[in-house]
């Protein structure tokens, strides 16, 4: 972390980072006061403080502990494709993820890994929705019906709802029995998603039957 004596946000960020060290979520913390070591600004290419680097992720300005903790999680996932996608999607860079998947279709499995992780943040989940819409009705998404079917049994109703919604986006009639099994789910949002997905698949089936 780089900080300055007159910086109004530095004490709060430093306190949050120190707490993460205490909890063991961070292994160590290096703090540099730019007033004592101004050369560090040039070394790290920093123009304003507070500035924090966790792994490959850089943050400037006030940061709450949740944001810092999220970067720690990303840094720990850096060796995996899911970690890279998590960062890109949370940062609104779904186009880069789509480009990657178009080059390597197997990479869609990393999206399902994020989908099934209860710790995946809302911004990433929104990005997952963009990805799934992009591949709606494609053979690629249909190949992942077994994984989506498994996720539809998850204890977390958010994950069940998302998985059942994406089963509808497969545009494949084989998803209908799975959806019907969840029509009486204990969660009202899940039941609503099931109804919408069944309606979509029924509409598509009627269209295909039309002369």
Query: What is the rounded CA–CA span in Å between residue 23 and residue 86?
Result: 24
Beta-bridge mates of residue 84: none
Place of tokens 């924090």: 52
Structural fold of domain 2-74: Glutaredoxin (3.40.30)
Using CB atoms within 10 Å of the CB of residue 44, give its burial: 0 to 12 exposed, 13 to 18 middle, 19+ buried. middle
> Which among 59, 45, 48, 52 is positioned nearest to 87, based on CA atoms?
59
Domain(s) labelled CATH 3.40.30.10 in the chain stretch across 2-74
Q: Give me the CATH code for the 78-209 domain, please.
A: 1.25.10.10
pLDDT in tens, 31-41: 999 999 999 99
pLDDT of residue 90: 87
pLDDT in tens, 49-87: 999 998 777 888 999 998 898 888 877 765 578 888 988
CA triple 166-100-150, angle to 5 deg = 30
Query: What is the rounded CA–CA span in Å between residue 69 and residue 66?
Result: 5
Q: What is the pTM of this model?
A: 0.65
Domain(s) labelled CATH 1.25.10.10 in the chain stretch across 78-209
Structural tokens at position 207:
């269209």
């Amino acid at each position: 972390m780089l900080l300055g004596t007159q910086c109004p946000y530095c004490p709060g960020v430093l306190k949050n980072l120190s707490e993460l060290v205490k909890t063991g979520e961070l292994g160590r913390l290096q703090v540099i006061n730019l007033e004592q070591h101004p050369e560090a600004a040039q070394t790290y290419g920093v123009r304003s403080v507070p500035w924090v680097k966790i792994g490959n992720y850089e943050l400037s300005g006030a940061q709450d502990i949740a944001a810092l903790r999220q970067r720690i999680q990303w840094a720990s996932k850096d060796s995996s494709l899911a970690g890279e996608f998590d960062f890109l999607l949370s940062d609104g860079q779904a186009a880069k993820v789509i480009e990657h998947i178009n080059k390597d279709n197997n990479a869609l499995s990393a999206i399902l890994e994020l989908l099934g992780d209860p710790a995946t943040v809302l911004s990433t989940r929104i990005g997952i929705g963009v990805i799934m819409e992009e591949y709606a009705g494609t053979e690629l998404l249909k190949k992942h019906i077994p994984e989506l079917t498994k996720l539809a049994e998850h204890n977390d109703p958010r994950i069940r709802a998302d998985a059942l919604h994406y089963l509808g986006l497969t545009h494949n009639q084989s998803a209908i029995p799975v959806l019907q099994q969840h029509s009486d789910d204990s969660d009202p949002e899940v039941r609503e998603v099931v109804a919408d997905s069944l309606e979509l698949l029924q509409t598509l089936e009627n269209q295909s039957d039309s002369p």
